[in-house]
Amino acid sequence: MFGAFTPGLILIVVAVLLPFVPKATRSWVFLAAPILALLHISGFTPGMTTSWTLATFELTPVRVDPLANVFGWIFALVTLIGGIYAIHLKDVGQQSSALLYAGSALGAVYAGDLFTLIFFWEIMAFASAYLVWARRTDESYASAMRYLFVHIFGGSLLLGGILWQISETGSLAFDTFEPGWPAWLILGGFAVNAAVVPFHAWIADAYPRGTITGSVFLSAFTTKTAVYTMARGFPGWEILIWAGLLMALYGVTYAILSNDIRRVLAYHIVSQVGFMVTGIGIGTELALNGATSHAYTHILYKGLLFMATGALIYATGRSKMTELGGLFRQTPAIFWFYMVAALSISSAPFFSGFISKPMTISGAEYASTPTVVLLLHLASVGTFLSVGLKLPWFTWFGSKPDTPVTVKPIPWNMYAAMGIGAGLNIVLGVWPAPLYGILPYEVTFDPYELKGLKKGFQILLFTGLAFFLIVDRLKPKPKIQLDTDWVYRISKDAAWRFLVVPVQRVFAWGERASWGAASTLARLGIDPVSVARTGRPGPQSDDHRSASTELRVPMTLMVVISAATIVGILVVVWLRG
Amino acid sequence: MKMTIWHRLFGLALIGALSLELLGDRTAPVEVWDYPLFFALMGLFGCFILSLVAKGIVSPALDRPEDFYGPEDAEGDWTSQSPAARADARATSPETGTYSDVSAETPGRPGAPTDSSNGGEG
């Protein structure tokens, strides 16, 4: 229908045109972009590629295969749902940057070469930072700057690795990497975007500070694009098993302690991506299918979680559990939408997470150590504890805050988007065949075997029992927890003094010196004959209207150009002689 | 504590989950997770262990006040000043100076309001 160009291009073109569209129809034009992208992807067949030659390099801006298609489908779908959620939005900057962000993520997953990949990778960083900045507060501005700082660091690792890779292999092809320094640098770049501990703190810093609609998009693309690139380039790298486990447990531990509801969810992105990274590290067909399908369902339920919490923030103007509570009667629909997503992320039977996360764990049971399996189960317990129990309990139930909460109505489109998201999470949970049919490898896993049901029900119900036994001890506190961003946030003053101030002083010296030199030259140029006769420059004059002013510039230029020419000639003669 | 319908339903669900152990073929356990009630115990004690680690170890060591990184970093409420008013405030803020104005103080955002907004959400 459209030929083999990247579907991301559709979103990017619409993002560029959006400011010129009348305000009243802008949100609807936004929705047209992901719909066209979905139609475009539906015409893709595995094996389709587009290749260009750039100098001596072969570029492949589009490579269609099952792995890329899984991510392509869900990226376009979540852009559509997010667009519906944001229909009420009257901020063209956010709308355009959301489309640019989604389009570049799509561009990255269909990239068949490393040049195309980093091109879209960098656009993603800037477009996504805007969604944090767009809240237009001091905290979001600073957070967006830190976000950019971290992603530019990650992008630099990736670019360095790519250049090194090209110099060693002479190829731009983006396929499985062989161990070596270039591959480690590239993996480092991917790890920053995947929020691998200790490069993860940007996610808990920025996502709670993004705009209500912006964070829905943020939750979908950056980390999952990185999961895709890891699955493409580093399947079976054992270090990823342990990196993923650390992420899974680290994320849930911080989520248990977090007070801001979207920070809880942000830490859970770290945790859930940890499951995917572990699956990629195991590297078997079952584990890779598990990681890929988990990325797919994760985008659906995490988007719904951010939509529901965003709707609550919209309605109440509050985002901390200590300032919420007892809201069930006022916001029952938001609660139920939230719970669909919470049960999905907790792998409850008949919800989307149940068809994907246990597949990754099953991959570990067959091909990894018992320790890995047990720690993954422990992380699953933590997921339900914090997202499925603690957050909803202290937000919608529990005691009411001292200051009464005023609830304002939310737009119809928010309900519509959450309804679609909840419906998809349930449909996929009870009917996984459509997803299993597009996974990279043939699926032999059946989540609804008795063993799987037993595991799902027992873990959730007994975690629930334990939670209600210790619920008072888990009460949220108005605190933050130090994380690895402390290193670059607390060192801000020192960095300013030791890195910025010296550079500024050099520039200041240069500025003074150049002004001084220009001033001296100007004074010499007022009356060169007198200077030649007396050997002293003329008096400094501030009278810019004096007659000699007209002569200053050409005379000074003449002296400078002459001197430069003579020096140049002397240098050439000296070099030749 | 008063026993409600919800307590009874939850109790029934727990019994139902445990009774799943009675179904299916009995085979000799190979791994630890093959033993009966393993996942029930994992849920129960996993929750205690994670809560203990989070609240008993991580929280005392790493908890800080919400304005630890400065008052401007604490997340405020979402209902205050409109984005348009913020844009106006920013437009009237002083511009930064030349390099000769170098200061050893860390930079702030001149003229930026100190409260928070709802990012164009209306």
Would you give per-residue pLDDT tens digits along chain A (577 residues)? 445 899 999 999 999 999 999 999 999 999 999 999 999 999 999 999 888 887 778 889 999 999 999 999 999 999 999 999 999 998 999 999 999 999 999 999 999 999 999 999 999 999 999 999 998 888 899 899 999 999 999 999 999 999 999 999 988 999 999 999 999 999 999 999 999 999 999 999 999 999 999 999 999 999 999 999 999 999 999 999 999 999 999 999 999 999 999 999 999 999 999 999 999 999 999 999 999 999 999 999 999 999 999 999 999 999 999 999 999 999 999 999 999 999 999 999 999 999 999 999 999 999 878 999 999 999 999 999 999 999 999 999 988 888 889 999 999 999 999 999 999 999 999 999 999 999 999 999 999 999 899 999 999 999 999 999 999 999 999 999 999 999 888 877 777 788 778 888 998 999 899 888 888 877 777 777 777 777 776 665 555 444 455 555 666 667 777 788 888 888 887 877 6
Domain assignment present for B110 = no
Domain boundary among A166, A193, A209: A209
Other residues' Cβ atoms within 10 Å of the Cβ of residue A529: 7
**Nearest residue of chain B to residue A501 (CA atoms):** B104
Evaluated on CA atoms A512, A516, A518, A519, the torsion sign reads positive
Contact B121 A314 (CB under 8 A): yes
Q: Give domain status of residue B72, yes or no.
A: no
Length of chain A: 577
Residue B20 in contact with partner chain A when CB distance is under 8 A: yes
CB contact under 8 A, A467 and B47: yes
In a domain, A221, yes or no: no
Partners of residue B21 in chain A, C-beta under 8 Å = 454
CA separation, residue A73 to residues A98, A120, A230, A529, B111 (Å): 17, 18, 18, 79, 44
Nearest to B20 among A457, A467, A505 (CB): A457
Domain membership of residue A426 (yes or no) is yes
What distance in Å separates residue B66's CA from the closest CA in chain A?
5
Cβ contact A373–B98 (<8 Å): no
User: A450 and chain B: CB distance < 8 Å anywhere?
Assistant: yes
Give the nearest partner residue to B109 out of A138, A256, A462, using CB atoms. Answer: A138
Assign 3-class secondary structure to B66-103.
CCCCCHHHCCCCCCCCCHHHHHHHHHCCCCCCCHHHCC
Same domain, A410 and A550: no
Interface list for A 102-141 with B (CB within 8 A): 134-141
Please tell me if residue A293 touches chain B, with a CB cutoff of 8 Å: no
Residues of A in contact with B91 (CB under 8 A): none
For residue A319, the distance in angstroms to the closest alpha carbon of chain B comes to 7
Beta-carbon separation of B119 and A466 below 8 A: no
The pLDDT of residue A235 is: 97
Claim to verify: residue A469 and residue A512 sit in the same structural domain: no
Predicted confidence at residue A58, as pLDDT, reads 84
Is the CB of A463 less than 8 angstroms away from the CB of B46?
yes
With an 8 Å Cβ cutoff, are A138 and B114 in contact? yes
Please give the model's pTM, rounded to 2 decimal places: 0.84
Is A218 inside a domain boundary? no
CB contact under 8 A, A459 and B43: yes
- Nearest CA to CA, how far is B1 from chain A (Å)? 12
Pairing label, strands B63-65, A57-63? unpaired
Residues in chain A with CB shorter than 8 Å from the CB of B109 are 138, 141-142
A466 and B CB contact within 8 Å? yes
A377 in reach of chain B (CB within 8 A): yes
Percent of chain B with pLDDT over 90: 32
Residues 309-368, chain A, touching B (beta carbon < 8 A): 313-314, 317-320, 365
Task: Flag whether residue A573 sits within 8 Å of chain B, measured between CB atoms.
Answer: no
- Cβ pairs A/B, distance under 8 A: 232
Find, in chain A, the residue whose alpha carbon is nearest to that of B71: A139
Contact at CB, A458 and B16, closer than 8 angstroms? no
Q: Does A458 touch chain B (CB under 8 A)?
A: yes
Last residue of a domain, one of A478, A504, A537: A478
Are the beta carbons of B100 and A492 separated by less than 8 Å? no
Give yes or no: residues A143 and A32 share one domain.
Answer: yes
Task: Using CB atoms within 10 Å of the CB of residue B101, give its burial: 0 to 12 exposed, 13 to 18 middle, 19+ buried.
Answer: exposed
The answer to whether position B41 is within a domain reads yes
Residue-number span of the structural domain to which B59 is assigned: 31-64
What pLDDT does A198 receive? 95
The verdict on A525 and A472 lying in the same domain is: no
Residues 63-82, chain B, touching A (beta carbon < 8 A): 63-66, 68-69, 72-79
Residues of chain A numbered 357-376 and touching chain B (CB < 8 Å):
365, 370, 373-374
Query: B-chain residues within 8 Å CB-CB of A483?
Result: 62
Task: Give the domain-ending residue among A443, A478, A513.
Answer: A478
Within a domain: residue B5?
no
- Position A550 scores a pLDDT of 54
The answer to whether residue A216 is domain-embedded is: no
Region B18-40 average pLDDT: 83
Classify residue A121: in a domain, yes or no: yes
Query: Which token pair is A346?
Result: 């907790």
Of the candidates A212, A450, A489, the beta carbon closest to that of B24 is on A450
Put simply, whether B109 touches A (Cβ < 8 Å) is: yes
pLDDT in tens, A214-239: 999 999 999 999 999 999 999 999 99
Domain for residue A275, yes or no? yes
Q: Does B113 touch chain A (CB under 8 A)?
A: yes
* Partner A contacted by B85 (CB < 8 A): no
**Alpha carbon distance A5, A90 (integer Å):** 31
Number of separate domains in chain A: 3
Please state whether the peptide bond connecting residue B60 to the residue before it is cis, i.e. omega within 30 degrees of 0: no
Residues 9-38 of A with CB under 8 A from B: none
One domain for residues A355 and A250: yes
In a domain, A485, yes or no: no
Tell me the per-residue pLDDT of A509-555, one tens digit each, with 9 for 90 and over. 998 998 888 888 777 777 777 777 777 766 655 554 444 555 556 66
Answer positive or negative: Cα dihedral of B44, A342, A440, A200: negative
Record: contact A508-B100, CB cut-off 8 A: yes
Q: Looking at beta carbons, which residues of chain B come within 8 Å of A205?
A: none
B35 interface with A at CB cutoff 8 Å: no
Q: Do B17 and A209 touch (CB under 8 A)?
A: no
- Domain range for A539: 491-576
Contact in structure between A239 and A281 (CB atoms under 8 Å): yes
Is A260 in CB contact (< 8 Å) with chain B? yes
Pair (A155, A272) in one structural domain:
no
What is the pLDDT at residue B105?
Answer: 45
A214 within domain boundaries: no
* Radius of gyration, alpha carbons of chain B: 28
Q: DSSP labels for A276-291? A: HHHHHHH-SHHHHHHH
A571's CB contacts (< 8 A; 6+ apart) are: none
Strand blocks (E) in A40-147: 49-54, 57-63
- CB-based contact (8 Å) between A459 and chain B? yes
User: pLDDT, tens digit, for every residue of A554-572?
Assistant: 666 677 777 888 888 888 8
A194 and A281 in a single domain? The answer is no
Q: Is the CB of residue A216 less than 8 Å away from at least one CB of chain B?
A: no
Q: Is A462 in contact with B14 (Cβ distance < 8 A)?
A: yes
**Contact status, residue A4 vs residue A62, Cβ threshold 8 Å:** yes
| Total domains, chain B | 1
A302-318 CB burial, b ≥16 within 10 A, e <16? bbbbbbbbbbbbbbbbb
What are the tokens at A257?
């302690």
**CB distance B47–A381 less than 8 Å?**
yes
Please state the ipTM of this predicted complex: 0.82
Q: Where does residue B94 fall: left (phi above 0), alpha (psi -120 to 50 degrees), or beta otherwise?
A: beta
